[in-house]
Amino acid sequence: MMLPPSPGTFRDREDLVSYVRDFGASQGYVVTIKKSRKDRRVILGCDRGGTYRNRRKVEEYIRKRKASSRLINCPFEAIGKKDDDVWILVIKNGEHNHEPLNDMSEHPYSRRFTEEEVRQIKLMTEAGIKPRQVLNALKQSNPELQSTPRHLYNLKAKIRQGNFSEKSFKSWRPNKSVPVNTSLEASATHYDPVNVPNLIGGKFVDSQACAVVDVLNPATQEVVSQVPLTTYEEFKDAVGAAKRAFPSWKNTPVVTRQHIMFKFHELIHRDIDKLTMNISREQGKTLNGAKVDVLRGLEVVEFACGMASLQMGEFVPNASNGIDAYCTREPLGVCAGICPSNFPAVISLWMFPIAVACGNTFILKTSEKSAGASMNLASLAMEAGLPDGVLNVVHGTNAEMHTYARAAARGKCIQYNMGAKNHAIIMPDASADATLDALVAAGFGATGQTCMALSTAVFVGGSLPWEEELVERAKKLKVNAGTESGADLGPVTTREAKDRTCRLVQSGVENGARLILDGRNIVGEIVTFDSNGKKSGWK
């Protein structure tokens, strides 16, 4: 059975096309591409199969496929659409009506010339070397070359006619060394969970912990990754690495630290779609919400880029008779931060960029429910040039109240925020549209999983005039998996969180509350495929 690629979001069209094309080759089918004139849509089909499909008619006719036909004869169809600044892949039909390729040598694109081979052909053609001699020369450097004289003649004709340009040249060809394997066991490896490592002393190290926590996609309950419960020895190693890195890092010129922050800022922009997709899969946020998560944290990185002026001290000459007053800013040493699950990117970026830009070293403890974003950010920080040991990442250690008590007992500087309740007071003369928009956004934004979520609204003069319109606006929210295009509301992070929400709603009803809109049993549809190639949904 040949499986379709998983739906997803991509930075640009070429990334989307490359992903579908490579996945198709691994499954043994040939992906063809049709782009729209306005560059906002791309259709990817399969150029194999025995059924002729006229896209203008519903009927299908069984007939032998013509040799070298460019018609798409297979029902497989994937569509890429541009939504704002990202490309979203949707699988319209994931089925095939033909057998897979036996090996990659049968793939029609396996006969393509690479860009380097094309350059060599141009030079040899201009030097007057005959086609067969050109092919023999190419096969000396690539004995597995499958291109024939006909392919070479076609390429030479384009060069002579002036129709050839390197910009329009397509050099992709499948990796023939990778065998085609469409068994369910082999296909399932695409979904294997990733073991999340620790970052200690500049190296990503697999934890020796026996216990791990499964990170589940809240929409599909698919295991996205496995986070270790870091051992005490590994945590000590992270602290030791941060201590050893501190003396040299605090003496690093502030301008050098500033340059690293500029590079870090650039890399986050480069990988913002990857970060967004990871957050949506692990935490359940909508794609727009996940992107805002990254962008809000990026603002703090921009702030850290100005650290050269922010670390300037003050000097007051002759503040008193014979006394000059001055102050300097110095790094504290080894700092640590603990991330919650609701904003995995923004909270990480609120903490370690400022700390390391000021000359401190840092230990970041991720949330065991959404560790991927922090790990991706740490990897980008290392790529930006952060020295080994300046930033360390651990997972799953006991935190919260225990950490607060230990730090307070030893007089350590600590900022500790857990949980919040927010109330809104609506006066009778409030603007109806603005108020209702604000209530819906504050109550349902980020699925209510934010410290600024609105849990209580007090209507001065009574709520009855507001209820009907508030319910209508809430009903218009599109509830779906966060990775789906157009979703306004995704799932809460865990089943336990949903069960708690349902218990609170039921408790309110049992204590006399009027339930005017019940969303506890809503069912969403998501176009994904299980290991048997069947569509699966989430509830």
CA-closest candidate to residue 248, choices 204, 205, 202: 202
Alpha-carbon gap, residue 9 to 1, rounded angstroms: 25
* Dihedral sign of CA atoms 155, 161, 165, 170 in order: negative
The residues with which 361 forms a beta bridge, in sequence order, are 334
Q: What is the 3-state secondary structure (H, E, C) of 318-355?
A: EEECCEEEEECCCCCCEEEEECCCCCCCHHHHHHHHHH
Residues in the chain: 539
Decide if 436 contacts 430 (C-beta within 8 A). Answer: no
Secondary structure element (H or E) that encloses residue 378, with its range:
helix 372-383
Active site residue 305: no
8 Å CB contact between 292 and 266: no
The amino acid occupying position 430 is A
Rg (CA), the chain: 29
Spell 342-353 as b/e; 16+ CB within 10 A means b. Answer: bbbbbbbbbbbb
Contact between 466 and 426 under an 8 Å Cβ cutoff? The reply is: yes
Side-chain-side CA neighbours of residue 464 (13 Å)? 2
From 305, 413, 451, 502, the catalytic residue: 451
Please list, in sequence order, all residues whose beta carbon lies within 8 angstroms of the beta carbon of residue 468, skipping any fewer than 6 positions away: none
Phi/psi of residue 230, each to 5°? -50, 135
Place of tokens 């926590």: 213
- At 479, is the secondary structure helix, strand, or coil? strand
Backbone angles phi, psi at 178, to 5 degrees: -95, 115
Tell me if 536 sits within 8 A of 528, measured CB to CB: yes
As a whole number of angstroms, the distance between CA 1 and CA 23 comes to 14
> Taking a C-beta distance cutoff of 8 angstroms, is the pair 538, 219 a contact?
yes
**Secondary element (H or E) of residue 152:** helix 149-161
CB 400 within 8 A of CB 414: no
Q: Residues 230, 233, 234, 235: is their CA dihedral positive or negative?
A: positive
Q: Write out the two tokens for 366.
A: 């991720």
Q: Work out the end-to-end distance of the chain between its first and last CA atoms, rounded to an integer number of angstroms.
A: 27
Pairwise CA distance, residues 296 & 410, whole Å: 33
Residues tagged active-site? 451
